[in-house]
Amino acid sequence: MKSRLLAATAVVVALFAIPATAADWAAVGAALGKTGSVQPGDVYRVGLPRTDLKVTLDGVAIKPTLALGSWVAFHDMGGETMVMGDLVLTHEEVNPVMSVMVENGLSITALHNHLLRSSPSTMYMHIDGHGDAVKLATAIHAALAKSGTPLGAAVPPASPPAPLDMDVAGVEKTLGGWKGTPNGGVLQFNIPRAETPKAGGMAVPTAMGSAIAINFQPTGGGKAAITGDFVLTADEVNPVIKALRANGIEVTAVHNHMLDDEPRLFFMHFWANDDAKKLAGGLHAALEKVKIGQPG
């Protein structure tokens, strides 16, 4: 009897050890129309790349993973779910998508450009919401239906991706030892700030957009197109601008992504197409002006 009681207790303990939202993410993905994955910090992040758009900038065909990567991220707050996202939209899609978002109780926290001179031009809409995760996902799906954002299961590649045509190890070393992740023909870096930012008093994990993003897309002959965004406090903004411009990197936008963040954060977007290691050196000079963590 005692052994059976202990076994039953162990089962109950094991059940309660399962995160309350672990079984819900499948329902969230179904409601959204696209599945995601659980990221560090217990964030369920769904990538929504605009593979339908053919955008060029200065003669470079922009890969979706370089600058056209819409995403939404859900984080269980204990009683409700917080969602944040960054949606890539054409000019014509902005207000139809926005209208559905606000009609369903989601907030628009920013609308801006990331790039200059791109054709067609794209805008980036940041959203925020709190409540039931499935209801939030359903509302976002309805809004995205007003755009050409591809939903449904991703089509697996027919063959393994080709190695990136650039000196990946040299770029990583020059950037300060940070390791990049190849994704869709682009080398992506996510560099966390030294402190974890908050929004509405709640921590914003890196998977919800609080990390510095730096992307390299090889363009041939050792060159790469770079873009992304630096996450900066007010005192860091102009030192980073100075460092980027001194190294031939364009600053294309400076703006906010959140409305009630602590500390107040500014997001700086950039662009260049030049020797990859030279650009990594310029980006490293800018990173030295920012309070960041250390490479893992």
* CA 143 vs CA 31, 86, 101, 103: distances in Å: 12, 13, 6, 10
Token reading at 155: 């089509």
pTM of the complete model: 0.89
Instruction: Say which amino acid occupies 199.
Output: A
- Read off the pLDDT of residues 165-214 as tens digits, 9 standing for 90 and up: 999 999 999 999 999 999 999 999 999 999 999 988 888 999 999 999 99
**Residue 164, φ and ψ in degrees, nearest 5:** -65, 135
Topology classification of domain 21-144 = Alpha-Beta Plaits (3.30.70)
Judge whether residue 229 has pLDDT over 60: yes
**Residue 19, φ and ψ in degrees, nearest 5:** -55, 140
Provide the pLDDT for residue 158. 66
Which of 76 and 94 is assigned the larger pLDDT? 94
Rounded to whole angstroms, the Cα distance separating 133 from 112 reads 26
Spell out the domain ranges in the chain. Answer: 21-144, 168-287
- Cα 29 to chain centroid, rounded: 17
What average pLDDT does this structure show over 151-171? 84
Judge whether residue 13 has pLDDT over 60: no
Judge whether residue 16 has pLDDT over 80: no
The verdict on whether omega for the bond into residue 192 sits within 30 degrees of 0, i.e. cis, is: no
Rounded to whole angstroms, the Cα distance separating 63 from 203 reads 31
| Half-sphere CA count of 140, side-chain side, radius 13 A | 37
Rounded to whole angstroms, the Cα distance separating 269 from 283 reads 12
Provide the pLDDT for residue 41. 86
Task: Name residue, tokens 């090889």.
Answer: 218
241-261 b/e with 16+ CB inside 10 Å = b?
bebbeebebbbbbbbebbeeb
Rounded to whole angstroms, the Cα distance separating 187 from 286 reads 19
Provide the pLDDT for residue 3. 45
Rounded to whole angstroms, the Cα distance separating 221 from 209 reads 32
Provide the pLDDT for residue 18. 39
The verdict on whether omega for the bond into residue 205 sits within 30 degrees of 0, i.e. cis, is: no
Task: List residues bridging with 232 in a β-sheet.
Answer: 266
Residue 217 — very low, low, confident or very high, per pLDDT cuts 50/70/90? Answer: very high
